A = this chain, B = another copy of it.
Amino acid sequence: MRQRLPDQTISAWARLQRASQSVLSAVESDLKAAGHPPLAWYDVLLELKRAGKDGLRPLALQSQMLLAQYNLSRLLDRMAGDGYIERRPCPNDGRGQIVVTTPAGRHLLKRMWPAYEAAIQRHFAERLSAEEATRLAHLLGKLSPR
Contact = CB atoms under 8 A, between A and B. Distances in A.
Interface of A: 1-6, 8-13, 15-25, 66, 114, 117-118, 120-121, 124-125, 127-128, 130, 132-137, 139-145
Nearest to A40: B17
A139 B132 contact: yes
* Among A6, A18, A140, A145, residue most surrounded by chain B Cβ atoms (within 10 Å): A140
A90 to B, nearest CB: 26
A15 B120 contact: no
Contact of A130 (B9, B24, B124): B9
Given A1-B121, A124-B143, 15 more contacts: A1-B118, A5-B120, A5-B121, A5-B125, A8-B137, A12-B128, A13-B120, A16-B19, A16-B23, A17-B24, A20-B20, A22-B145, A127-B142, A132-B142, A136-B139
